[in-house]
């Protein structure tokens, strides 16, 4: 085995949560190394959410990588619900006292973080194979991996598991030490990315008799659209023409008239699940982001919950190194989970409101219509949607 190197925090995963954590720790003078099993190009090629809450924007500004986001991102103060062929606007800005969200693709955010890390000369090890975590329940954890046919080891003070739902960190925890909660939804989202102008200046969430649809965007010239499809569907079954034809059938007259179609840049089907692991701390190893929780994409909470995890974790580690206090790391899991469960509830509820479930009869569609009519005709109901969508305050309910 190659000679072991030491770092203060070993971060597993070079997605947005791992990169963001690395920059926050570096800013505080805490040494860290990031390990990633994929190539950098592969990481940048993953198509993910593009809606940022204020907490995420603030963190990017804090580490000095928010300039391009503010220049190219699109500020949204509301979104539309299309029910029964009729549109209703949720004015988030008015209902939440001036809060907005930012449309900025996760790919671009990841690129900004990668460039900032490279500019700072920080270590990111891509194509790290057979990563394993050891002794995290003691005082001297370590991470082992293979690179270019050679075995390597990193000793560290702490391990941050930012390695996603299928990562090694959560999988390395003994089954008796972790409880997992999961709901798998009986449909998927067929997504299409195209270099076409968006059908609307704001997002449109569609509940139609044919199923859910979402009209989203990445910029003023790049659009992202989604269709609810059965889990049995394969992306190869869906030509671009078939996608656009089905989307038109789920839109209203105005949407069909304004829709600009074009060749897809990327097309894929994503399953939907709600998943939460408890706790998120195991000795000197912490789970953050998708390693600890997954939300349905309805409501765009995944990336923002990961950013909140990272905010709490970085603050806890900074407190430990500056004051030798373990108060922050002791409270990390409970603090994160208090926020996670609220976002999970909203994502589940919003998904249930907008989608057609295979076993639902006509009565459920009537329930959905009655609920949305109540929400839209009640200022309190509309505010409930708006304040959850823009993100609850960090100290809400804590």
Per the CB < 8 A criterion, the answer to whether 147 and 129 are in contact is: yes
CB contact at 8 A, 189 and 270:
yes
Q: Which fold has domain 5-74+102-182+272-355?
A: FAD/NAD(P)-binding domain (3.50.50)
CA gap 139, 255 in Å, rounded? 59
**Residues 297, 311, 312, 355: which is the catalytic one?**
297
The string over 348-372, giving b where at least 16 C-beta atoms fall within 10 Å of a residue's C-beta and e elsewhere, is bbbbbbbbbeeeeeeeeeeebeeeb
10-residue averages of pLDDT along the chain (398 residues): 84 96 97 95 78 93 95 96 95 96 92 96 95 96 95 97 97 95 97 96 96 95 96 97 98 97 96 97 98 94 95 98 96 97 97 94 93 93 95 76
User: Can you tell me which residue has the tokens 């509301």?
Assistant: 78
What's the pLDDT score for residue 395? Answer: 74
Separation between Cα atoms, residue 213 and residue 228, nearest integer Å: 6
In whole angstroms, what is the distance from residue 90 CA to residue 382 CA? 7
DSSP SS3 for 340: helix
Q: Give the C-alpha separation, 26 to 317, whole Å.
A: 11
76 is catalytic: yes
Coil, helix or strand for 214? strand
- pLDDT (0 to 100) of residue 397: 58
Rounded Cα distance between 86 and 78, Å, is 16
Cα separation of 398 and 395, whole Å? 5
Rounded Cα distance between 94 and 247, Å, is: 30
Catalytic annotation, pick one of 99, 301, 311, 355: 301
Question: Could you give the 3-state DSSP secondary structure of residue 261?
Answer: coil
Active site residue 366: no
Q: Is 301 one of the catalytic residues?
A: yes
Supply 28's token pair: 């505080």
| 320 has catalytic annotation | no
Three-class secondary structure assignment of 39-107: CHHHHHHCCCCCEECHHHHHHHHHCCCCHHHHHHCEEECCEEEEECCEEEEECHHHHCCCCCEEECCHH
Task: Single out the catalytic residue among 104, 185, 205, 226.
Answer: 205
Residue in 76, 99, 152, 293 annotated catalytic: 76
């Amino acid at each position: 085995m190659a000679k072991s190197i030491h770092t203060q925090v070993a971060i597993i995963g070079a997605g947005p949560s791992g990169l963001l954590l690395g920059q926050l720790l570096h800013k505080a003078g805490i040494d860290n190394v990031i390990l990633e099993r994929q190539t950098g190009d592969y990481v940048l090629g993953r198509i993910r959410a593009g809606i940022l809450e204020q907490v995420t924007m603030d963190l990017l500004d804090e580490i000095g990588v928010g300039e391009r986001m503010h220049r190219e991102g699109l500020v949204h103060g509301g979104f539309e619900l299309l029910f029964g062929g009729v549109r209703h606007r949720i004015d988030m800005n008015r209902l939440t006292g001036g809060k907005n969200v930012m449309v900025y693709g996760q790919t671009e955010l990841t690129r900004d973080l990668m460039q900032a890390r490279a500019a700072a000369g920080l270590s990111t090890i891509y194509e790290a194979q057979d990563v394993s975590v050891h002794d995290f329940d003691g005082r001297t954890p370590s991470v082992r991996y293979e690179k270019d046919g050679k075995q390597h080891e990193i000793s560290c003070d702490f391990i941050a598991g930012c390695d996603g739902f299928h990562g090694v960190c959560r999988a390395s925890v003994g089954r008796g030490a972790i409880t997992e909660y999961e709901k798998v939804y009986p449909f998927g989202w067929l997504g299409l990315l195209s270099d076409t102008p968006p059908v609307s200046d704001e997002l449109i969430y569609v509940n139609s008799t044919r199923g859910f649809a979402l009209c989203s965007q990445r910029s003023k010239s790049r659009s992202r659209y989604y269709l609810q499809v059965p889990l049995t569907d394969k992306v190869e079954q869906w030509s671009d023409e078939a996608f656009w034809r089905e989307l038109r059938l789920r839109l209203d007259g105005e949407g069909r008239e304004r829709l600009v179609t074009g060749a897809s840049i990327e097309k894929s089907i994503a399953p939907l699940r709600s998943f939460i692991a408890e706790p998120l701390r195991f000795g000197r190893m912490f789970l953050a982001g998708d390693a600890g929780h997954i939300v349905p994409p309805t409501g765009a909470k995944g990336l923002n919950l990961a950013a909140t995890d990272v905010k709490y974790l970085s603050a806890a580690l900074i407190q430990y190194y500056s004051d030798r206090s373990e108060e922050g790391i002791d409270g990390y899991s409970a603090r994160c989970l208090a926020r996670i469960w609220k976002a999970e509830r909203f994502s589940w509820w919003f998904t249930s409101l907008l989608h057609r479930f295979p076993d639902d009869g006509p009565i459920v569609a009537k329930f959905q219509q009655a609920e949305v009519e109540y929400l839209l005709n009640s200022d309190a109901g509309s505010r409930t949607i708006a304040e959850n969508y823009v993100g609850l305050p960090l100290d809400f309910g804590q």
